[in-house]
Amino acid sequence: MRAIVGCGLLVVLSPAAAPAGVRQEGHPRPPSAAQVKAAENRVRQQQASLGAAQGKLSAATRELTRLQDQAEALTERYDQVRVNERRAAAAYQVTQARLRQAEQQQAQSRRKVAALAAEEFESGGGFDPVTAMIGDARGPQAYLRQVGMGQVLAQWGTETLASHRANDAVARVFRTQANRLLAAKQADLNAANALKVAIQAAVSRQQTLVKLTEGSRDKVASQLNSAQARASSLKAARQAALAAQAAAAAERASAAAGSTPGGSTQAPSWAWSSGASSTQGDIAANWALTQLGKPYLWGGAGPGEYDCSGLTMMAWARAGVQLLHYTGYQWQEGPHVPLSELQRGDLLFYATNTSDPSTIHHVAIYIGNGMMVNAPYTGAFVRIDSMYAPGGLIGAVRPAG
């Protein structure tokens, strides 16, 4: 029961491919220390690349923030210029009204000046003041009165001319003021609009750059995760292989001494030739592959659910080999196989202490290229995993045929 319960509690990782260091002809080989070191160096390189990518992203984001602040300020400036332009347009309308009034006054004063000039021409007649006084039939007094009236007329003419000049000047001022004011404000509006368009384009370009930089950063981060996963997988695979080799050495030493570490699980001495044939192994492995996707169930032995030892038992039953539904017994039901000599259908065993077979808690069936069919734990389904994924690989057995 301890082994069956152990199958239920084991948590297994599921990489999609066999770790580096596995020979493709089907015999696993542990990754070398150099491979592990190279993978760790790759992790450090990717960490440096990620740091550089993050720095670029931070700089691009800061520039985007600066441009956005500038855009906001220019947009507010644009709004102000628009208000000023509308005010200038309104002032232009008022000025145009004043201009029309000034032009009317200018026309009136022009007519008065023209009338004054005509009157002066008619009254002057070419006579000097003395001749006019003597020849005046009404006498000198009348003449003097006439002279006073002339002075009044002269003064009136002067004022008329002055008024005309003033009206003309006012008309010119209004005409120039209205045109210049409106033109200036419209020019300001055009300039502000051009600035707004330019800064909006700059913000858009920077947003695109930030998005591209984020994509580059995320790609580097993904590469770092992959490098870390690979390094961890290689390291775990090497540790598991070395531990399995140590366990095998300890087992051989124990067998030579006539005892087994732990003293509770015997490993009978099977003749190498007693193991099942490769054809039987292929039958067991191929049938196990047909059970992929079926749920794990403690004590399950099919056809709909399996635990770890139930799956291996039923797989080998298809090959004509009867196994007991218990990992501890299956460990004893055939010759132990070096990991370098694995063939399809061999059983892989996992223990909490790789130097003590009594701690075996899980079994799976090898299908080649460092991979196995595995019924891992409650809540999971029968699936393909790396033989190194669970950790604690203690050894392999080829069921006795």
Return the top range by mean pLDDT from 78-82, 246-250, 269-273.
Answer: 78-82
Q: Identify the sign of the CA torsion 374, 375, 380, 382.
A: positive
Collapse the DSSP code of 22 into the 3-class scheme (helix H, G, I; strand E, B; otherwise coil) and give the result.
strand
All residues at 6 or more sequence positions from 193 whose CB lies less than 8 Å from its CB, including other chains: 78
The confidence score (pLDDT) of residue 259 equals 43
Instruction: Tell me which of 3.20.20.370, 3.40.50.10360, 1.10.287.2610, 1.20.1060.10 is the CATH number of domain 51-227.
Output: 1.10.287.2610
Lowest-pLDDT range, 48-57, 139-148, 164-173? 139-148
Condensed to tens digits (0 to 9), the pLDDT of residues 291-315 reads 999 999 988 999 999 999 999 999 9
Given pLDDT bands bounded at 50, 70 and 90, which one contains residue 262?
A: very low
Kindly list the distances between the CA atom of residue 207 and the CA atoms of 63, 72, 150, 213, 217, in Å, as whole numbers in the listed order. 10, 15, 84, 10, 15
The confidence score (pLDDT) of residue 387 equals 95
Lowest-pLDDT range, 46-60, 255-269, 328-342? 255-269
Q: Examine the pLDDT at 124 and tell me if it is beyond 60.
A: no
Q: Examine the pLDDT at 101 and tell me if it is beyond 70.
A: yes
Given pLDDT bands bounded at 50, 70 and 90, which one contains residue 8?
A: very low
Q: Which among 321, 353, 357 is positioned nearest to 336, based on CA atoms?
A: 357
The confidence score (pLDDT) of residue 212 equals 93
In angstroms, the first-to-last Cα distance of the chain is 26
Higher per-residue pLDDT: 99 or 145: 99
Condensed to tens digits (0 to 9), the pLDDT of residues 184-237 reads 878 888 888 888 888 889 889 989 999 999 999 999 998 988 888 888 767 766
The confidence score (pLDDT) of residue 144 equals 53
Domain ranges for the chain: 2-30+260-397, 51-227
In the chain, the amino acid numbered 103 is: E
Higher per-residue pLDDT: 81 or 168: 81
The confidence score (pLDDT) of residue 362 equals 95
Mean pLDDT of the chain: 78
Given pLDDT bands bounded at 50, 70 and 90, which one contains residue 19?
A: very low
In degrees rounded to 5, what are phi and psi of residue 134? -65, -40
Q: Examine the pLDDT at 6 and tell me if it is beyond 90.
A: no
Kindly list the distances between the CA atom of residue 56 and the CA atoms of 49, 65, 99, 236, in Å, as whole numbers in the listed order. 11, 14, 62, 35
CA distance 153 to 119: 10
The confidence score (pLDDT) of residue 10 equals 38
Higher per-residue pLDDT: 256 or 367: 367
The confidence score (pLDDT) of residue 85 equals 80
Q: Examine the pLDDT at 260 and tell me if it is beyond 70.
A: no
State both tokens at 396. 């392999």
pTM exceeding the 0.85 threshold for the entire prediction: no
Lowest-pLDDT range, 53-62, 135-144, 234-243? 135-144
Condensed to tens digits (0 to 9), the pLDDT of residues 228-239 reads 888 876 776 676
The confidence score (pLDDT) of residue 2 equals 43
Q: Is 110 exposed, middle or buried (0-12, 13-18, 19+ CB in 10 A)?
A: middle
**In the CATH scheme, what is the homologous superfamily, with its name and number, of domain 2-30+260-397?**
endopeptidase domain like (from Nostoc punctiforme) (3.90.1720.10)
Condensed to tens digits (0 to 9), the pLDDT of residues 43-55 reads 989 999 999 999 9
